[in-house]
Amino acid sequence: MPLHVLDHPLAGHLLAELRDKSTHPERFRLLTESLTTLLVLQATYGIRTRQDMVETPIKPTAVTVLDQPLAVVPVLRAGLGMLQPPLRLFPDVAVGYIGLERHEDTAIARSYYSKLPTLTGRFTLCLDPMLATGGSAAQAISLIKEHGATQIAMVSIVSAPEGVAYLQARHPDVPIVTAALDEGLNSRKYIVPGLGDFGDRLYGTP
């Protein structure tokens, strides 16, 4: 499935401030929510709708309404910063959580927590702000599929080409929606230029 790099002036502006190392955690969280709103709108473009009728103050009129529930699955802990926008935007949202911890030396993710609802029939978003090696995202999407999801989108704020290629190879049916495709990974498997450790900057931890 294709890679969608968000092409909007506001997205670029928000991302610029997120990248800035002087941005404080409170502001960082607000920027994350604003940028996630734009990403979620792009990612859910294909959600199912149906036609209905409503009474306006003037006359009855045909309208388009949502006809498919949504599910969002943030990858802990950094993905929690992306959770609120879809909850505010959509009327029927189920939430699951996947905990994956990356080993600093090997960069291989270890699963330590998973709590997912039944996802059958739901348009499902996997939220992870940094798509670096792609290992965590691929593991998370495998778990999401095991719980019945068939229509899934991966939503990240910054992605590396290595992570995109890895995820597309293992889950070619899953589109990736991101605000930036960066240069690549450094020797520690951090995205370059990236924006640092997203979870640390989100929560103000060293």
pLDDT at 4: 97
> Which tens digit of pLDDT belongs to each residue from 160-201?
999 999 999 999 999 999 999 999 999 988 999 999 999 999
177 and 42 in contact (C-beta within 8 Å)? yes
> Which tens digit of pLDDT belongs to each residue from 106-115?
556 667 788 9
Active-site residue, selected from the candidate residues 50, 67, 197, 205: 197
Torsion of the alpha carbons at 44, 95, 175 and 15, rounded to the nearest 10 = 80
pLDDT at 149: 97
Decide if 173 is catalytic: no
pLDDT at 205: 85
Q: Is residue 102 very low, low, confident or very high in pLDDT (cuts 50, 70, 90)?
A: low
pLDDT at 112: 78
Active-site residue, selected from the candidate residues 106, 118, 150, 205: 106
11 and 38 in contact (C-beta within 8 Å)? yes
Domain ranges of the chain: 3-48+66-203
Question: How far apart, in whole angstroms, are the C-alpha atoms of residue 72 and residue 116?
Answer: 10
CATH class (in words) of the domain with range 3-48+66-203: alpha beta
The one-letter amino acid code at 133 reads T
Neighbours of 87 (CB within 10 A): 11
Decide if 67 is catalytic: no
Helices (H), the chain: 9-19, 25-43, 84-89, 135-146, 161-170, 198-203
pLDDT at 105: 57
Active-site residue, selected from the candidate residues 20, 52, 67, 200: 200
pTM: 0.93
